[in-house]
Chains A and B, each alone.
Chain A
Amino acid sequence: MSDVLFLGLAVFDHAFMRYALIAGTAVALACGLVGYLMVLRGQVFMGDAMGHVAFTGALASLAFGLDARLGLFVACVAVGLVLAGMGDRGRAGDTETGIVFSWVLGLGVLLLSVVASSGGAGGAAGARVLFGSILGLDAARTTWAVAIAAAVVIALIAIARPLLFATLDEAVAAARGVPVRLLGFAFLAIVGIAAAEAAQVVGALLLLGLLATPGGTAWRLTTSPYAGLAVSAAAAVASTWAGLLLSFEVPSLPPSVAIIVVASALYAGATLLDRVRAR
């Protein structure tokens, strides 16, 4: 079916592009859902910090000769939980985030010098961490990325409504027996996993663009929170597809940059639409 549909599109002749589209779609879905809730909860800065955590975590793994993804996930989830613990009721504030952010970034710079001075494949691996490696996926890596993204999507949908309640109306939610603090922890752990996934697609440097920009687009376009989740996920997937195709057509354009360019263009369009509607 898809062969007929996409007949003539050279994109699908290449296994690496198929893997990129499959993994990219799953990761974008997860990031879109997480991102909208991050925007509603005012935790975008937290997503930014996660980019640096992803960088440091992956480099730590490389410094010890391990798979970069191991450090990526461990560091992102651990820091997510630490931030939740530092904040009030499982919600990290800007101060806590900023302190952890700069400390982790410093650690990352140290590890970068360790990895770079060790020579060999370390430097190239470091670059992949920073800029993403979506076009370098094989079947096994794609399967892993999709499985983890699916787990994020399922977990987030399961907690979405009480999390929304706790976000918008903490005191009433707590009185109703919603585990506000526990949800805050769970959400930051999920943000950590989503950030680690996004780091593999667009890299640690641009991770925030895939995580938060679609959420911002949805925040501009709709005032219904459940529609917002759907719009955000759709914007993230659309950005990933368009970005991948764009970078396929323009070989000098790295896929991570193309994805972020499309995501930002969607946000700009949504902002413009919002302004026009407000008149």
Chain B
Amino acid sequence: MSTPAAIRFRGVAAGWHDHAIWEHVDVEVRPGEFVAVLGPNGVGKSTFVKIVLGLVAPTAGEVRVLDVAPGAANRRIGYVPQRRNFDASVRVRGIDIVRLGLDGDRWGVPLPLPWTRARRREEDARVRRAIETVGASAFAERPIGEISGGEQQRLLIAQALVRDPELLVLDEPLDSLDLPSQAAIAALLGRICAEDGVTVLLVAHNVNPILAYLDRVVYLAHGGAASGTPAEVITAATLSRLYDTPMEVLHTADGHVVVVGQPEAPHGDAHAHLLR
């Protein structure tokens, strides 16, 4: 326990001073873990991510991310936000989108000047490496608006990886993908976590595509959160206690879990949506 936690929440609440979306949340994510943030729609999962990134301030409690205040280490974090797809009118190559993840916050434009050649070569190599890692080499030169949602998602993950982050934060990365693409992206993230030692924090509303790769789940509820291994947390007893309503967890023969009796979103539903 000598190494600092990748993410630590102590008694954290989110919302407004008189109206919490969720509160009393304690979470500790160890470096190198693959963690899913789960919960019903509108519970404030995206708000959880925005607090980790320092884009939204918690209303109570203490947050540490990569052992510093949230937002202070965003250069060491790769972020894949919840999004719509790029539409067909976006005629910019995938490789340029990936490259912006590396240098998009620098002023000016990249000019082919002789004295920047060494740096350009090194940056080209990093971009290429990130694209190879996600298996996107075949379509990285095509306009991003013309490729499939799964292919776009691979390139966006490459964009998040291009600076070799210690922590990868993804908001619903499997949303709006077909089932084979969901499985492929989940496997890719599992590999990045296991082989490159990157801590992965992923928001999802369906745990099944990622279940095999997960070290820890955080179930978010209005009154708090349950955090632990999937086997500990995704149980009828834990979830029923967390959501204060009878819930059942069924296990299918192929290893999937089905949570029956999904709780209604907390009473702050409309507000929670606004924050997403």
Residues on A lying within 8 angstroms of B by beta carbon are 40, 42, 157-162, 164-165, 168-169, 171-178, 219, 223-226, 229
Report yes or no: B96 in contact with A173, Cβ–Cβ below 8 A.
no
Residues 65-103 of B contacting A (Cβ, < 8 Å): 74-75, 77, 79-81, 83, 89-93, 96-97, 100-101, 103
CA of A42 to CA of B92, assembled, Å = 14
Instruction: Tell me, yes or no, whether B159 is within 8 Å of chain A by CB.
Output: yes
Instruction: Tell me, yes or no, whether B108 is within 8 Å of chain A by CB.
Output: yes
Q: Which residues of A contact B83 (CB under 8 A)?
A: 171
Report yes or no: B79 in contact with A175, Cβ–Cβ below 8 A.
yes
22 A–B pairs (Cβ distance < 8 Å), ordered by A: A40-B92, A42-B89, A157-B108, A157-B109, A158-B107, A160-B109, A161-B109, A162-B107, A164-B104, A165-B104, A165-B105, A168-B90, A171-B79, A171-B83, A172-B80, A172-B81, A173-B100, A173-B105, A177-B105, A219-B91, A223-B143, A225-B96
The dominant DSSP class at the A interface is helix
Interface core residue of A168, A175, A178, A219 (most chain B CB under 10 Å): A175
Residues 189-237 of B contacting A (Cβ, < 8 Å): none
- Among A173, A223, A226, the residue within 8 A (CB) of B104 is A173
CA of A276 to CA of B4, assembled, Å = 58
- Among B74, B80, B91, the residue within 8 A (CB) of A176 is B74
Chain B: CB-nearest residue to A165:
B104
Instruction: Tell me, yes or no, whether B134 is within 8 Å of chain A by CB.
Output: no
Q: Given the known A-B contacts A160-B109, A171-B83, A223-B91, are A165 and B96 also in contact in the complex, defined by CB atoms under 8 Å?
A: no
Report yes or no: A169 in contact with B97, Cβ–Cβ below 8 A.
yes
Q: Which residues of B contact A168 (CB under 8 A)?
A: 90, 92, 97, 100
The minimal Cβ–Cβ distance linking A250 to chain B, given in whole angstroms, is 35
The minimal Cβ–Cβ distance linking A229 to chain B, given in whole angstroms, is 7
Chain B: CB-nearest residue to A179:
B105
Report yes or no: A162 in contact with B92, Cβ–Cβ below 8 A.
no
Instruction: Tell me, yes or no, whether B119 is within 8 Å of chain A by CB.
Output: no
Instruction: Tell me, yes or no, whether B247 is within 8 Å of chain A by CB.
Output: no
CA of A178 to CA of B104, assembled, Å = 8
Residues 138-169 of B contacting A (Cβ, < 8 Å): 142-143, 159-160
Since A177-B74, A226-B109 are in contact, a sample of 14 more A-B pairs with Cβ atoms closer than 8 Å, ordered by chain A residue number, is A157-B109, A161-B103, A161-B107, A161-B108, A171-B81, A172-B159, A172-B160, A173-B104, A176-B105, A178-B104, A223-B96, A223-B143, A224-B92, A224-B93
Chain A: CB-nearest residue to B80:
A172
B253-264 near A? 1/0 per residue, CB < 8 Å: 000000000000
Instruction: Tell me, yes or no, whether B53 is within 8 Å of chain A by CB.
Output: yes
Q: Given the known A-B contacts A165-B100, A169-B97, are A223 and B105 also in contact in the complex, defined by CB atoms under 8 Å?
A: no
Chain B: CB-nearest residue to A157:
B109
Chain A: CB-nearest residue to B78:
A172
Report yes or no: B96 in contact with A224, Cβ–Cβ below 8 A.
yes
Chain A: CB-nearest residue to B112:
A226
Instruction: Tell me, yes or no, whether B55 is within 8 Å of chain A by CB.
Output: yes
Q: Which residues of A contact B75 (CB under 8 A)?
A: 176
The minimal Cβ–Cβ distance linking B193 to chain A, given in whole angstroms, is 20
CA of A200 to CA of B170, assembled, Å = 49
The minimal Cβ–Cβ distance linking B107 to chain A, given in whole angstroms, is 5
Q: Which residues of B contact A178 (CB under 8 A)?
A: 104-105
